[in-house]
């Protein structure tokens, strides 16, 4: 029912919830009987939002020229919302301070809550570390090359990403590191920006762990259905994470609202966000670099020797000239 909403406006306000009420036992079979009730609950129906967006996106694409005004409207709306978000970000330090204070005041046992928060940090860090080991082993198993060689060339990019908490900022340094490692420009210039935009391995671990952590804090830890939905929504939304600091927390709010988990405790995550945001951004940087060098290995292995560096520069130059002539015309 949530994936096919009956009210497009309502998906931003409520979601359909199915409950089963015990009404007694069957006198013949002695089995428990339940009545199925379908109602609504406050919170964004994120599954419905995704379905509606995909549907309208495909329809507007199929409409071609006549769908352009529709797309331009939402592009303009996105710019307006982005301006508002940037304005609100200026008040983030003050707002976060009061959010954490409010969450702490509502906690009955502060020591126990901070102990759980510490275990949450350990869980996220261990998860990201395991992912890093898997990537290194995968690179070694597939290429039979020293898996630590890329680390030397990505170090500068990693430190920049760690400081700025944005994988996109480190793309120029990633490309420069790839050049130092001998990766062809055609590969690095294409794969690095694409991978940095789409890959959010560390953020996926953080969002999933945060969702489960908050669900446990609110008493939903034993609800397998909610845990599965959190995992599925994380897989779907992680690609759409904007590359701004602490953007994953916004996704967490969306995920928890979609499964009906209260979001008051999310403010506790800001106490550790300064560290975890840097760790997961660094993981995304490393994943991007390994993705580039692995792509280079696979293309060379398959005999793709097209466009060496000189030919690539020449092609870029010709393309720039063509664009200049088109603009002049």
Pair (102, 14) in one structural domain: no
CATH code of the domain containing 162: 1.10.3860.10
Which pLDDT tens digit goes with each residue over 110-156?
Answer: 777 778 888 888 999 999 999 999 999 999 998 888 888 898 899 98
What pLDDT is attached to residue 130? 94
Q: What are phi and psi of 17, to 5 degrees?
A: -130, 135
> Could you tell me which residue, 312 or 43, shows the higher pLDDT?
43
Q: Are 47 and 3 in contact (CB under 8 A)?
A: yes
Residue 101 lies in a domain: yes
What pLDDT is attached to residue 134? 93
Residue 235 lies in a domain: yes
Per-range mean pLDDT, top range of 5-9, 114-118, 131-135, 236-240: 131-135
Count of CB atoms situated within 10 Å of the CB of 154: 26
What pLDDT is attached to residue 140? 92
Pair (20, 140) in one structural domain: no
Pair (155, 27) in one structural domain: no
Residue 273 lies in a domain: yes
Residue 84 lies in a domain: no
Q: Tell me the mean pLDDT in the region 85-106.
A: 69
Pair (174, 261) in one structural domain: yes
Q: Name, in order, each residue with C-beta under 8 angstroms of 289's C-beta and a sequence gap of 6 or more.
A: 150, 153, 154, 157, 174, 177, 178, 192
Helix 270-301 / helix 185-198 crossing angle, nearest 10 deg:
150
What pLDDT is attached to residue 311? 53
* Coil/strand/helix, residue 40: strand
How far apart, in whole angstroms, are the C-alpha atoms of residue 134 and residue 130?
Answer: 6
Pair (148, 243) in one structural domain: yes
Q: Are 195 and 292 in contact (CB under 8 A)?
A: yes
Pair (31, 167) in one structural domain: no
Q: Name, in order, each residue with C-beta under 8 angstroms of 301's C-beta and a sequence gap of 6 or more.
A: none
Q: Tell me the mean pLDDT in the region 21-35.
A: 77
What pLDDT is attached to residue 303? 59
Percent of the chain with pLDDT over 90: 7
User: Hey, what are 133's tokens?
Assistant: 């080991």
> Does the pLDDT at position 254 exceed 60?
yes
Residue 326 lies in a domain: no
**Residue environment code for 293-308, b if the CB has 16+ CB neighbours within 10 A, otherwise e:** bbbbbebeeeeeeeee
Pair (130, 36) in one structural domain: no
> Does the pLDDT at position 315 exceed 60?
no
> Could you tell me which residue, 30 or 313, shows the higher pLDDT?
30
Taken as a whole, the chain contains a residue count of 329
Which residues lie across from 18 on neighbouring strands?
A: 38
Pair (155, 299) in one structural domain: yes
Number of domains the chain is built from: 2
> Could you tell me which residue, 49 or 172, shows the higher pLDDT?
172
Q: Tell me the mean pLDDT in the region 89-103.
A: 68
Residue 184 lies in a domain: yes
DSSP secondary structure string, 234-282?
HHHHGGG--SSTTHHHHHHHHHHHHTT---GGGGGGHHHHHHHHHHHHH
Pair (38, 114) in one structural domain: no
Pair (34, 106) in one structural domain: no
Pair (270, 140) in one structural domain: yes
> Does the pLDDT at position 43 exceed 70?
no
Average pLDDT over all residues of the chain: 79
What pLDDT is attached to residue 1? 57
> Does the pLDDT at position 192 exceed 90?
no
Question: Could you tell me the pTM of the whole model?
Answer: 0.64
Residue 57 lies in a domain: no
Pair (144, 290) in one structural domain: yes
Cα-Cα end-to-end distance for the chain: 53
What residues make up the domain containing 125? 91-315
What pLDDT is attached to residue 96? 63
Residue 300 lies in a domain: yes
> Model confidence at 324, in pLDDT bands (50, 70, 90)?
low
């Amino acid at each position: 029912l949530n994936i096919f909403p009956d009210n497009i406006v309502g998906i931003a306000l409520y979601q359909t919830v199915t409950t089963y009420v015990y009404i007694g036992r069957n006198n013949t079979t002695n089995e428990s009987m339940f009545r199925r009730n379908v109602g609504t609950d406050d919170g964004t129906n994120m599954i419905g939002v995704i379905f509606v967006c995909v549907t309208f996106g495909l329809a507007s694409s199929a409409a071609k020229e006549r769908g352009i005004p529709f797309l331009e409207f939402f592009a303009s709306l996105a710019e307006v919302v982005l301006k508002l978000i940037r304005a609100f970000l200026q008040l983030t330090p003050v707002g976060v301070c009061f959010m954490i204070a409010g969450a702490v005041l509502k906690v009955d046992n502060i020591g126990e809550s901070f102990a759980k928060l510490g275990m949450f940090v350990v869980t996220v860090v261990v998860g990201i570390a395991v992912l890093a080991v898997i990537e290194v082993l995968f690179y070694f198993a597939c290429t039979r090359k020293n898996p630590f060689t890329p680390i030397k060339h990505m170090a500068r990019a990693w430190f920049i990403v760690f400081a700025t908490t944005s994988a996109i900022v480190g793309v120029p340094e990633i490309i420069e590191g790839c050049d130092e490692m001998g990766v062809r420009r055609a590969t690095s210039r294409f794969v690095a920006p694409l991978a940095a935009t789409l890959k959010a391995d560390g953020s996926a671990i953080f969002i999933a762990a945060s969702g489960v952590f908050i669900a446990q804090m609110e008493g939903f830890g034993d609800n397998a259905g909610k845990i599965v939905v959190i995992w599925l929504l994380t897989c779907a939304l992680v690609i759409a994470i904007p590359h701004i600091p602490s953007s994953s927390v916004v996704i967490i709010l969306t995920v928890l609202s979609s499964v009906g988990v209260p979001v008051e405790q999310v403010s506790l995550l800001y106490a550790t966000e300064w560290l975890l945001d840097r760790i997961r951004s660094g993981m995304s940087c490393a994943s991007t670099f390994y993705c580039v060098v692995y792509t280079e290995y696979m293309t060379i292995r398959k005999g793709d020797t097209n466009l060496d560096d000189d030919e690539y520069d020449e092609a870029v130059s010709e393309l720039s000239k063509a664009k200049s002539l088109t603009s002049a015309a």
